[in-house]
Amino acid sequence: MKLRLILLVVCIALLGALSVSAQDRTPIYVYTDSDTNISDFWTNTIIPAFEAEFPQYEVILTIVRGVGGGNADIANRALAAMTTGDDPQVDFFETMNTDAQQDWVDAELFLEVTEEMVPNLANVIPATNRLPQEMPYRGSQVLLAYNSDNVAAEDVPTTYAGLLEWIKNNPGQFVYNRPDKGGSGAAMVTRAIFEVTGQDPSKFVPGESDEALIAEFSKAWELLGSVHDSIYEGGAYPAGNTPVLELLANGSVSMITAWSDQGLQAYNLGVLPETTRFAQLQDLPFTGGYAFSAIPSNSTNQEGALALANFLLSAEMQQAIVETIGGFPSVSWEMLPAELQSQYTSVITDTVPTWPGGAYGAAMVEGWYNNVATNIDPSS
């Protein structure tokens, strides 16, 4: 009898202690649908560092990669919560294109962030082209990755025209993924669009959709269609960045387009062979992109979310982004140690063209599927 009583008391005390410690720290609900390298980086680097500096917060990361529409679904859930006045149960989106759906824009689903709210935003470079609701915190640029055993350094294409020529001369040795399934393949397609529209990415303004410009995409389909038969397996396009890296890693192809961060990380881990080299086009580089974080305006822990946003833009975290995930900083390189800068000179370019997505993105993806990788003859 006595023993039971003691046990009961211990149990109650334990429960009480647990609930107190849980109440101590306000949760920040973070959602990500990015690739494993990014979610790992959050779990192993960002969250421990943030929680050490801000012990009052507990970051709860939920990975929705490959689950339905990923973060977009969670944003829609937040939108639904907004209309009913419920808790959206999300405070921070690791990446979000805040204008991807008109409903979000109309309902002002995302918080406009200013330098007063997030002081470190002042250091963010203009090339990131952010919307007022977006906080770019890491960048990456698409590069050419090749196997130096099969491709001599002097044969590596330096222009887009040269790349297409190389693909034709080396049938089956190049591959890029479907443009909607991963940014490395999308960069191959958007670069073709830049090529036929005068190599001037500034023509593409986010949020706009210029019909005349979209009409010119057809010339890009001719360019990409001309190398379709020379792509891996006579025109087989994998469904993601990782399967493309895999094809380079196992020697199925000799050259691919790859995200700088994924390529460099795979190389550092030994997933890509030691003979792998990276290069960038010299006439106009492939697109880069920044991952934009966003905070839903109905978040119940906005204060924590803003602290997290500011923390991500600190020099310490920006350096970790370069060193740990092979990403590009969203703040000026000058904020980072000099030796780190010199290490990356081979792939750093002054220009980081960005692709606006939105209506242009939809036209790009649909045009590619209907004209380049199609089983239907477009002329019929």
Partner 1 sequence: MTAAAPSQSSPSWRKGIIAYLMVAPPLLLMILLIFIPALQSTARTLTIDVNGAPGFSISRYTAFFQDPISVSNLFFTFQVTLITLAAIFILCFPLAIYLRFANGKLAGAVQVLALFPLFVPGIILAYALIRFLGTRGTLDNVLSIIGFTGYRTPYLKPDAIIFGLVWESIPFTVLVLTAGLRQISDSLIESARDVGANSWQIFWRIILPQIARPVLIVFSLNFLGIFGSYTIPYLLGPAAPQMMGVFMQQTFGQYRRPDDAETQAVITFIICAFIGFLYVRTVANQRKREDSE
Residues 267-286 that bind partner 1 (CB under 8 A): none
Cβ atoms 109, 78 nearer than 8 A = yes
Which of 202, 195, 237, 233 lies closest to 216, judged by CA? Answer: 195
Report the greatest alpha carbon distance in the chain.
88
- Regarding 182 and contact with partner 1 (CB under 8 A), the answer is no
- Pick the binder of partner 1 from 12, 13, 236, 340 (CB under 8 A): 236
Q: Kindly tell me which residue out of 247, 248, 279, 306 binds partner 1, with binding defined by CB under 8 A.
A: 247
Q: What are the C-alpha distances in Å from 76 to residues 80, 98, 165, 304?
A: 6, 11, 44, 22
Backbone angles phi, psi at 354, to 5 degrees: -115, 150
**Of how many residues is the chain composed?**
380
One-letter amino acid of 126? P
Q: How far is the CB of 223 from partner 1 (least distance, A)?
A: 17
**Least separation, in Å, of the C-beta of 96 and partner 1?**
15
* Residue 375 touches partner 1, criterion: CB under 8 A: yes
Angle between the N-to-C axes of helices 183-196 and 160-169, in degrees from 0 to 180, rounded to the nearest 10: 110
Under a CB-based contact definition with an 8 Å cutoff, are residues 285 and 141 in contact? yes
Shortest spacing between CB 91 and partner 1, in angstroms = 25
Strand-pair category, 255-259 with 174-175: parallel
| Residue 214 contacts partner 1 per CB under 8 A | no
Residue 144 near residue 157 (C-beta atoms within 8 A): yes
Neighbours of 137 (CB within 10 A): 27
Binders of partner 1 among residues 308 to 327 (CB under 8 A) are none
Which residue lies nearer to partner 1 by CB, 121 or 249?
A: 249
SS3 179: coil
Residue with tokens 């080396």: 170
The residue among 262 and 314 lying less far from partner 1, judged by its C-beta, is 262
| Contact string (CB under 8 A) for partner 1, positions 332-371, x = contact | ---------------------------x-xx--xx--xx-
Residue 266 Cβ vs partner 1, minimum distance, rounded to whole Å: 16
Q: Answer yes or no whether residue 373 interacts with partner 1 by CB under 8 A.
A: yes
Which residue from 104, 110, 221, 237 is in contact with partner 1, where contact means CB under 8 A?
237
Minimum CB distance to partner 1 smaller for 26 or for 252? 252
Provide the angle, in degrees to the nearest 10, between the axes of the packed helices 217-226 and 183-196: 120
Number of residues that bind partner 1 (CB under 8 A): 30
Interface with partner 1, residue 105, by CB under 8 A: no
Among 4, 66, 338, 339, binds partner 1 (CB under 8 A): 66
Work out which of 16, 55, 69, 337 binds partner 1, going by CB under 8 A: 69
CB of 109: closest distance to partner 1 in angstroms?
17
Rule CB under 8 A: choose which of 84, 250, 345, 379 binds partner 1.
250
Q: Which two tokens stand for residue 191?
A: 């670069």
Q: Residues 95-108, buried b or exposed e (16+ Cβ, 10 A)?
A: bbbbbbeeebeeee
Per CB under 8 A, does 36 bind partner 1? no
Burial of 211 (0-12, 13-18, 19+ CB in 10 A): exposed
| Rounded Cα distance, 2 and 317, in Å | 54
Q: Binding partner 1 by CB under 8 A: which of 23, 83, 345, 380?
A: 380
Binder to partner 1 among 39, 97, 139, 178 (CB under 8 A)? 178
Q: Is 246 in the site for partner 1 (CB under 8 A)?
A: yes
Of these, 136, 183, 238, 304, which contacts partner 1 (CB under 8 A)? 238
CB of 130 to partner 1, least distance (A): 22
Separation of alpha carbons 377 and 380, rounded Å: 6
* Site residues, partner 1 (CB under 8 A): 66, 69, 72, 178, 180, 232-233, 236-240, 243, 246-247, 250-252, 359, 361-362, 365-366, 369-370, 373-376, 380
